[in-house]
Structure 1
Amino acid sequence: MSQDTVTASRKNTNRVVAFVCLAFFGGMIGMAYAAVPLYKMFCQATGYGGTTRRATQQYANRVLDRDIVVRFDANIAGVPWDFQPVDRSMTMKIGETVQAHYQATNKFDRPVTGRATFNVQPELAGPYFNKVECFCFTDTTLKPGETLDMPVVFYVDPDIVNVPELKDVKTITLSYTMFPVEKSKPVASSVPVQGSSKTISNTEANLGG
């Protein structure tokens, strides 16, 4: 085998290895970006980790003659809001569709956008806590001093009584945590100064230079 043939073979091998590495690297990046929404969908579908399920119907197929207490909890994580449930707890029938309310007030001197995540305790109750309407995972912007009513509609699946670990559960806690959402700033563009080759940014133009 000639030296030129060996060299060409090595170059081809290197190209293949480089291509495989790039493909693997690109795939890992894609998986990283997809991990969060996929995990969110998985949790909502299964109730894993105390995540409540998204109801496919507005009402349960039956209502049991058995009460359960749902407690409401609210937390903030870096957002300058007063975020609280209107009522701290509610007694309802298992299978009954009910509505609860949270309130958020922006205490800051400028508009602030927040987004809520949620879970339930005990964690095993997650798959049986079905939300029909919810403000979670939705970006909400409040003006300075603005107060917003935030309803959540839900029911507890009657099948919860068939789970040995949950058949005697008397209380479920629904907990929300509100996080700040940073809005991307517009990229400054340049506009020509009339009668000159000089350019200024749009921000300077709006401020009169």
Structure 2
Amino acid sequence: MTAATLDSRKNRTAIFAFLGALGMLGLGFAAVPLYQMFCQVTGFGGTTQRASKSDAALAERLGASAGAKTISIRFDGTTANDVPWSFRPEQVTDTVTIGQRDMAIYLAKNNSNETITGTATFNVEPEQAGAYFNKIQCFCFTEQVLKPGQEVRMPVLYYVDPKALDDPNMDDVEQITLSYTFHRALESAE
């Protein structure tokens, strides 16, 4: 094998290694949004569904035709360690009729002397309920900016899809927990 052929093979191997590393880096960055998209579509991992007002109206009609079955909803609110806010639900539990729209209110207060932008992550337990818990309006859809000492009420308009009544995995579910955690938004963490 000649030196030129050997150098050519080494260069080709280096290029493939570089492209492979670049591809892996790209997959690393794409993994989080792809996983979030998968969870939002399937309800996997307790991810709630986002619904329109027309979806909610249809669910109300379906829920009314299915009877007035109720379910308990528990609300939970926490903050990450670097978010000096008080954050909690106004009411810890509520009993709702499946298919009917309801509203929960969360209270947040910035206890620091600086303006902080936060974003909420959310989860539903048990996991199988995530596919049926639909949010129509939620503070988690946008970043929240609280000035020093500012206190706000943040509504969540939601419903539990009547399709949950047809799922055998939901038969023993008596309570659904909707949990939020506020984190600093990237631009306020810098």
TM-score (norm 1): 0.80
Structure with bigger helix share is: 2
Question: Are positions 1:153 and 2:151 aligned together?
Answer: no
CA deviations over 1:153-183 (Å, ceiling 9, x no partner): 1111111112222124221111111112342
Give the SS at the match of 1:110. coil
Amino acid at match of 1:112: I
Give the SS at the match of 1:62. helix
CA deviations over 1:116-169 (Å, ceiling 9, x no partner): 111111111111111112222532111001112211111111111122221242
Q: CA RMSD in A?
A: 1.9
Structure 1's unaligned 5+ residue stretches are 187-209
Determine the structure 2 residue equivalent to 1:74. 77
2:46 pairs, out of 6, 29, 50, with 50
Structure 2's unaligned 5+ residue stretches are none
Q: Is the 8 A contact 2:117 2:188 kept in 1?
A: no
Determine the structure 1 residue equivalent to 2:93. 89
Determine the structure 2 residue equivalent to 1:123. 127
Matches of 2:141 and 2:135, distance apart in 1: 13
Question: Are positions 1:183 and 2:187 aligned together?
Answer: yes
TM-score (norm 2): 0.88
Q: Is the 8 A contact 1:97 1:153 kept in 2?
A: yes
Question: Are positions 1:12 and 2:15 aligned together?
Answer: no
Amino acid at match of 2:62: R
CA deviations over 1:88-133 (Å, ceiling 9, x no partner): 1221111112221111110001111211111111111111111112
Deviating runs (4+, > 6 A) in structure 1?
A: none
Amino acid at match of 2:24: M
Give the SS at the match of 2:40. helix
Determine the structure 2 residue equivalent to 1:34. 30
Q: Is the 8 A contact 2:116 2:188 kept in 1?
A: no
Determine the structure 1 residue equivalent to 2:143. 139
Q: Is the 8 A contact 1:43 1:53 kept in 2?
A: no
Determine the structure 1 residue equivalent to 2:62. 62
